Amino acid sequence: MINRTAERVLGIISAVLLTLSVLGAALVAFIWNMASTDPTFMDEFRGEIVSEGVLNTEEVDMFMSFMSSFSTIIWVLVAVAFIGLVLNIIGLVKVWNNKSPKTAGILFIIAGLLGGFLSLPSILLYIAAILCFTKKPPMTTGPSPDEYVSTQSNWMN
């Protein structure tokens, strides 16, 4: 039986970090969605930008239309990261049972890609996947070379 503690720890840490990032992104999307649907807030926001002279009215309208689609983009990213989190948890279960580490490694790689290509949780998942692929069970079949030599010398006498 192979000790898979490193994979478990890396998977748990990345699951916690992915959960925090999914919740944080969902909170940002929710707050932005609430603010963008409030006409009073949007009028004040538009008025502040125009009065400061940062943008003219046409540019502000273009910016506001972009920001309304920004909420949709965040929700899509939250959904993709959530799928990565679910795959991470499934991979953790597979590593915990220690029955299919190769499958867990594949799930960790996919979860890392969905959780953010080069974010900290994804890097931890890539390391856990590499460990799943590279750790080999100890060879216990047959006698060791020393035992083989001692049995051969006893047989010859």
**pTM assigned to the model:** 0.75
Task: Look at the block and give the residue holding tokens 């920001």.
Answer: 67
Amino acid at 100: S
Classify residue 115 by its DSSP letter: T
Give the whole-angstrom CA distance, residue 80 versus residue 86.
10
Position 148 pLDDT exceeds 70: no
Tell me which of 64-78, 80-94, 96-110 is least confident: 64-78
